[in-house]
Amino acid sequence: MNINPLVTVYTINRNYSMFLEQCIKSVVNQSYKNIEYVVIDDGSTDNSTKILQKYKNNNKIKIYFQKKSGLIKSINKAIKVSNGEYIIRLDSDDFLHRDAIKILLNKLFDLKASVIFPDYYLIDEKNNILDRVKRHNFQEKVTLLNQPAHGACTMYKKSVFQEVGTYSKKYDCQDGVYMWFKVINKYKIGNINKPLFYYRQHAKSLTKKTSKINYTKELIFKEFNRKKTNNICFFPIRSLQEIHSSNQKAKKIFIKKLKDLSNNLYIKKIIVSSPDINIQKIINHLKLKKIYYFERNNYYSNYGTRLSELLLEFIRKNKTQFTNCDNIIIYTWNDQKTSNIKHMIDNLEIFKLNCVILVKTLKNLVFKHDGSGLKPIFKNRSGLKIERNILYSQIPGIIVLKLKSFIKSKNTYNGKIGHVIL
C-alpha cells in the first residue's frame, strides 16, 4: 500500500469569488502535501477569473475555464481529469481544516475503507461558527445506513468511481445521496468524529432550496428502489366531521383526497373503513376501481381504540383482501401530500425497514418533568449538533408497514423504523 498516495481535491466554482480564495488557500496550505488540486470555473461572471489567474503557475493546481455546464457535468469532468488515487470534493464557498486530508487518509487506511467522511462546522458568510454537526460513529453505532454522508468533503478511492460510475446528469443536486446509494452495499464506509471542513450557510446556498432538494431526493430514492411491491392503503375514517364541520366542504375535500390516493401508482387498493353511511354513498357514487368500502364495527369507532387493533381485526376478518400484499399504508385523515407515500415506500424497501413514519426535527430543547421540575432530555453544549441527540416528532397521518412484521408483532411501530423528514 502506498503510504503517501496522490490525493485529488476538486472544486467547482460559479460566481463565488467572495469565498474562492479562502477555499483555494485551505487546500494549498494542507499539512498533507501530495495533493493535486483541480478547479473548474463553470462560466463565472464575477471576479473569479481574476482570482484564479493568480494560481495559474502553481504546478499542483489545474484550472479549467468553461462555459456554464452545471454542477454534475463539471463534477464528472473533474473526476475524469483527476490523477489521484483518492479523490475529495470541496465546494468553492467552503474550506478545509489544515489537517483534513491527512486525518481522513490515515483513518481510511486504519479502517481499510473505500469511503470516509468527517464531522463539520456550519459557518455564516463572515466565517462565524453557527453550529457543529457531529455524526454517529459509523464504526460502532450504525447498522442502518439511511443518513447519507455530506456530498462535499467525503473522500473516495478513485477506483470506486471507476467501478460504479460517476454522478447522474439527471439530478442537479443531492449528488451525495445518489452516490451514497451506489456505494453503501458494495464498499466499507467509515467516518471520523472530528470537524474537518467548514460548510457555509448563506442566501445563495443550495441547501436553502428545500423544495428542489426534496423533489430530487424523491426521484433518487425511486430510481434505487427496484423492488415491485403490492401496497394496500387502509383508510379508517369515523365521519365527514373529521374533515370539516360543513358536510358540503368535507365531501368536496374527501373526494379530492380519494382521487389523489387512487392516482398514486404505488397503491394497488384503497380500503376505506367507516361506520358513516355518507362516506359509503360517496364511494359508491365515485365508482373508482381501486377503492373499496367496509362498514366499521361500532366498537372500533370509539376514540380510545388503538389503530393497530382496528387494522389487525380487519385483516383477520378480511384475509382475502390482503392476498399477495407486501406493505400496508395506514392513512388517517391529514393534510399531507399523498405523494409522500411513494417516498416512504422507497425508504421501506431500500433500507429493508419494518415501518416508515413522517417526522419533523425538534430544533428547540425538549424537557421532561421528573417530579421536582423540568429537566432537559439532553444536556447539549451550545453550538454542538450531535446526531444521536437529534429528536424527531412524528407527524400523524401516514404510516407505511411491512404486513408480515406487523401481523407478527401486533404493533404499528415494530422492528427497524425509518423516517421521512418534512
pLDDT at 204 over 80: no
pLDDT at 296 over 90: no
- The domain ranges of the chain are 7-208, 231-421
Phi and psi torsions of 162, nearest 5°: -70, -30
* Domain 7-208: CATH superfamily, name plus number: Spore Coat Polysaccharide Biosynthesis Protein SpsA; Chain A (3.90.550.10)
- Mean pLDDT of the chain, nearest integer: 92
Q: Which position has the grid cell 455530506? A: 150
Per-residue model confidence as pLDDT tens digits over 140-160 = 989 999 999 998 999 999 999
C-alpha cell at 343: 417516498
Strands (E), 32-123: 35-42, 61-66, 86-89, 95-96, 115-123
Is this prediction's pTM over 0.85? yes
Phi and psi torsions of 390, nearest 5°: -65, 130
- The stretch 25-49 carries a mean pLDDT of 97
- Cα–Cα distances (Å) from 385 to 176, 391, 409, in that order, read 20, 11, 34
The answer to whether 7-208 and 231-421 have equal CATH topology is yes
Separation between Cα atoms, residue 160 and residue 83, nearest integer Å: 14
Cβ neighbours of residue 367 closer than 8 Å, sequence gap 6 or more: 374, 375, 376, 377
| Beta carbons of 149 and 180 less than 8 angstroms apart | yes
For residue 9, which of 43, 33, 35 has the smallest C-alpha distance? 35
Which residue has better confidence, 298 or 195?
Answer: 195
pLDDT at 208 over 70: no
Separation between Cα atoms, residue 174 and residue 86, nearest integer Å: 21
pLDDT at 300 over 60: no
Domain 231-421: which CATH class? Answer: alpha beta
Separation between Cα atoms, residue 187 and residue 231, nearest integer Å: 31
- Cα–Cα distances (Å) from 288 to 261, 291, 400, in that order, read 11, 6, 23
Per-residue model confidence as pLDDT tens digits over 374-415 = 988 876 555 566 777 788 999 999 999 999 999 999 999 999
pLDDT at 207 over 60: no
pLDDT at 372 over 70: yes
Separation between Cα atoms, residue 151 and residue 50, nearest integer Å: 28
- The stretch 75-100 carries a mean pLDDT of 97
